[in-house]
Structure 1
């Protein structure tokens, strides 16, 4: 358990599934495949054009393997970074706060007061739903995190109800009230 949650009991620890990044990985693979196909065909025509112009050294101008590797790296760098980011993310839910641990090289911890959660919703994209996963979305009165997404978690509906119950209990305990249509609150 981390030092920031040492005086609070952790009710749930949520680690996003890397399956939440599989959709972007599939798109990256498709783009890389299409890019490779067109790159090979354009390279053949360009190579033929350069030969027809009798440009000296045209046989070494095109290095297809380097071009193909470049296309694959460009198309897959963002999905791979997203998956690594998901693998290094964790949420700890306590009766009073939600702690959000994230970062690959530099670790950052953010916290959200559970009483400041205004609304909860879930989304279940097809790919996640196939694996029994979903996204929990916290809409809050917090200025730095007005919308907090917890991606790729199991039993998303059950977790939504648990967080809702914790939020209601904490609001009652502290007497927290929000002014309608404002970001101000009274405690």
Structure 2
């Protein structure tokens, strides 16, 4: 069975295809920008202190703000969880306040995997799901390992569920 394999019918109807959090590697740009900002603060303070009397408190406050931004990016990914079972995709996210959203698999119209060059080096990518759900027409699952395989399995599961439920897609307007 594939890593994100479709669950055989003998298993419970709510069997999980995938459960996990995005990879922290999606925060790599934020981490690099934060490191460059802290370096710039250090260099700026070093230069400014030779020219003027500058309090040590100012660069410390600036570094703490940068570290707070990096920490927030880390926590946002840490407190995001995706669960895909044979009927729906559920996303739980939030640090202090929790938001839970789900979309039924039979509403999936298209699934795309996106692999930026720097994420491809680490074997991760984003899965973008286009749905017929009017409240959440686009679902983005960032930082997924084996994103292309997950995309294939999600497509198969959506088609299988539409067949089981007897649901057909009808395009109105632009095709």
TM-score by length of 2: 0.81
* Contact map agreement 2:87 2:105 (CA 8 A) in 1: yes
Shift of 1:43: 4.0
- Highest Rg: 1 or 2? 1
Matches within 5 A, 1:19-58: 19-47=25-53
| Aligned partner of 1:164 among 125, 139, 155 | 155
How far has the Cα of 1:123 moved from its partner? 1.7
Contact 1:140-1:146 at 8 Å conserved across structures: yes
Secondary structure of the 2:16 match is coil
After the TM superposition, which residues 11-26 of structure 1 pair with which residues of structure 2 at under 5 Å, given as runs? 11-26=17-32
Higher helix share: 1
SS at match of 1:177: coil
Distance 1:158 1:121 in 2: 11
Unaligned 5+ segments in structure 2 are 1-11
Q: Provide the aligned length of Structure 1 versus Structure 2.
A: 162
Match of 1:80 among 47, 71, 90: 71
Query: Which 5+ residue runs of structure 1 have no aligned equivalent?
Result: 1-5, 48-61, 183-187
CA drift at 1:134: 1.3
